[in-house]
Each structure stands twice: as C-alpha cells, then as structure tokens.
Amino acid sequence: MSTLKSNIKAALLVHITTLMNSFVAGLIVPKFLSIESFGYWQYFAFFAGCLELLLFGAGTGLYLHFGGKIYAEIDKALVRYIFYKWLCAAVVFVVIGAGFIQIFVVNPDKARVFYSLLIGLFIINTGTFFSYILQATNRIKDNLFTVLLLNLMTICSFFILIFGGIVDYIYYIGAYIIAHFFRGLFLLYYNKQVFVNHPVADVNLRVWHVWPIIQAGLFLMVADYSIYMMFGIGRLFIENTWGIEVFSKFSFAMSLTLLMITCVNQIGLVLFPALKRLDQEKMKEIIIQYGKRVDLVLLVVFILYFIARKILILWLPQYEEAVFYFGVLVPLCVFDGRIAILLNPVLKAIRKEKQILYINISFFLLSNMCFFSLWMLEASVYYYCILFVMISFCRSFVSEYQMDKALALDFNKKGLLSKLVISSMFYVVLVGDVLM
C-alpha cells in the first residue's frame, strides 16, 4: 500500500506538468495561431494519438504478459525479438504510407501533417513500446520521469516558438516530435538490458511463440483505442461537413474535455500493477475506498466549468462558441473519468480485457452509425456533443455492471443514475447562464 501511495504521489507530481503541457498546447497556442493553423495542429495531434495502433498490440501485449513481475524476472530476449519485428513492419508501413500520400493527398497542409506522422511513427512508438515495459514491471517512477521530461521539453519549445513570433503549425509539430525523441532515448536507456547480456538467442523465437502475447495486446489496444477513435471519427465527420475552422473550434472543446480525463488517467496506470498483486477481497476494499474519492473529485468539475467559462471567453473570445461546446461535453468527464481511473484498471487486473474490448467495440460501432446519420443530415455540432455524452454514460453503466458482476459486488446503478440527474441539472444551469 505504501508503494501504491508513493507512486500515486509521483503520478500527481508529473501530472502537474501534464496539465501545464496541455494548458499551453490547448490554451496558449491558440491565442497566437490562427483558427485554421490551430486546426491543422489539432489534426496532427489527433492522428499522433492513433500511432500506437501501428504497434499492432506489441506494447500492450507485453504489458499484460509481464504485469505484476519485477524487471529482473522478465524475458529480455522476448522483448528484443518483438521490438525488432515491429521495426521491420513499421518500415514497410512508412514506405507504403509515403506513396499513398504522394498520390492521393491533394491538400498540401494535410500532406505535411501526414509526412510528419510517418516520421513520428518510429520516434513516438519506440517510446511507447518501452514505456509499457516499465509500467508493467512497476518501474513507475522511471516511466514518470520520462513523461516529466517530455512535458517540460514540449512546454519550453512551445514558449520559444511563441516568443519568436512563429505562427506556422509545422514548427509546433516538429517541437512535439523532438520532445518525444529525447523521451525515447531515456526509455531506451532504462531498458538497455533488453539489448545486452542475454544467453537466449532471438533465433530460438518464432512468430507463433509470441502470437498469444500479441493477440492479447491487440484485444486491449483495440479496446482502448476504439473509444479514442470514436471521439476522433466524430471530429473527422465534423471537419468533412463544416471545414477546418469548425473542426478547430470543436477540437479545442474536445481537447479541454480530454485534458480533464487525461489528468487522472495516470492514476489508473499506477493502480494496475498494484491490483495485480492483490487477492479479490483486498481488491474490493481498494475499489470501494478509491471509488468514493473518484466520484467526489469528478463531480467537482461541474462547478469548475462555470469558473473556467468566464476566463476562457476573456482569453480567447474567438473561441466563445467552442467554450459552450466544452460545457455540453463536461458530463462526459464524469462518466469517462470513472472508467479511466477505476473501472478499466480493475477489469484489466482481473484479466477481463475481452469484456473491455466487447464493450468498447459495441459502442464504437453504435456511435459511428449515429455519427454517420448526423453527417448525412448535416447536423449541428451540438448534436455531436450530446451524442458523445449519451454514449459515455451508457458505456460507464455497462462497464460498472461488468466489474461488479466479476467481483460479486452490488451493482451501484443508483450512483450512476444520480450522476445522470446531476448532469441534467447542470445543462439547465448552463443554458440559463448562456441566455443571461
């Protein structure tokens, strides 16, 4: 328990810089970039967040495979073998991707974004891969240090660009990639034992030896990213219908929403290796103890929004409409926040990743059918916002049910329904505040 508390404190410290990083990228940068230029930066940021999909489950598979073990015990030859095979696959993808961009992408700004992503593929995913190894083996503080480095480098780079009067989004993309490069160097250093002093030769390994690991990782990766893609595809439908400037405003609102969820995500990562070591009864105690605290913290966001709204409109008057989008999306923070902090880490710890997959895929498919309908109708952005919140509530409801069922806990449907009622009351106050 003491290690858990220590790791949570370290995570909170790092998340101060994560908050600062997101604050600068999401609130300072749009002050100095045009709405269009900020839109292309957000366009890059969305696809950069999807790059882990091109790890093909390697990182998440090893995360599940080694979860709960100490670093000295893991099979370094296995890690090395999987990493080298991924590098080969990445080279093939980059070659094909470059050809596709050259032939099919007409918009020069989008072409620049996609070429930047091909460069980021190697740099960002190398860091992501070895970050999973540290997380699984409870080297939380080493991993958090690399996140700290990433955040500080990104913040400093962005301020240098801002004070230098540089308003072209491509330089901000370059700064982002360079920061990830240095993080990757440290992660390679922390995992240097993977590449040296191993009696087991890679030749003894074959694809079929590692496929069960990759398969489990694919389940978890698709489960995690189906929701990210759900949010992203909704944004792409908006961009296709209303153009890059409306996309920029909605992305601004969504980035503020995801910021609130991301700020607590690390707690879930810290909980996972600790939960792996607990028996079922002790796990129930942890869930009840932290569950109440999580609910209290998340509900505070309703109050914080009205304070933030006034400040945001004064700072970024050109994004006033986006601030209202943010208000409509705030209940999503409550429902998705609980999933990220508590529900998913518990389900992963008891090896119910397939349930996470089925839940997320189901809602991914449902949401995209709804998004397609809204796109066909050329519906207002507000309808997209409401749809996001409704899907988040339903997903939280089902996830809570699955966790309680697996651990033989009483299903807390009243707690979820009470959050829905409070969210409805929040909307009434929000509309009233806007009309006034």
pLDDT value at residue 376: 92
The tokens for 172 are 């901000």
Contact (CB, 8 A) for 403 and 280 = no
* CB contact burial 343-363 (16+ within 10 A = b; e otherwise): bbbbbbbeebbebbbebbbeb
pLDDT value at residue 36: 94
Cα 378 from Cα 365, distance rounded (Å): 20
Q: How big is the chain, counted in residues? A: 436
37/19: higher pLDDT: 37
Contact (CB, 8 A) for 432 and 416 = no
pLDDT value at residue 429: 76
Domain residues of the chain, as ranges? 34-205, 214-436
377/292: higher pLDDT: 377
Lowest mean pLDDT across 224-238, 270-284, 323-337: 270-284
In the predicted model, what is the mean pLDDT of residues 407-436? 73
3-class secondary structure for 250-318? HHHHHHHHHHHHHHHHHHHHHHHHHHHCCCHHHHHHHHHHHHHHHHHHHHHHHHHHHHHHHHHHHHCHH
| Closest-CA residue to 195 (of 93, 282, 78, 105) | 78
In the predicted model, what is the mean pLDDT of residues 274-292? 66
Is pLDDT of 132 > 60? yes
222/192: higher pLDDT: 192
| Whole-prediction pTM | 0.82
Residue 187 CB partners (closer than 8 Å, separation 6+): 126, 127, 130, 131, 134, 143, 146
Is pLDDT of 48 > 90? yes
pLDDT value at residue 349: 72
| Closest-CA residue to 426 (of 326, 330, 286, 311) | 330
Is pLDDT of 97 > 70? yes
| Band of pLDDT at residue 225, cut at 50, 70 and 90 | confident
pLDDT value at residue 387: 92
**351-377: per-residue pLDDT in tens?**
777 788 788 889 989 999 999 999 999
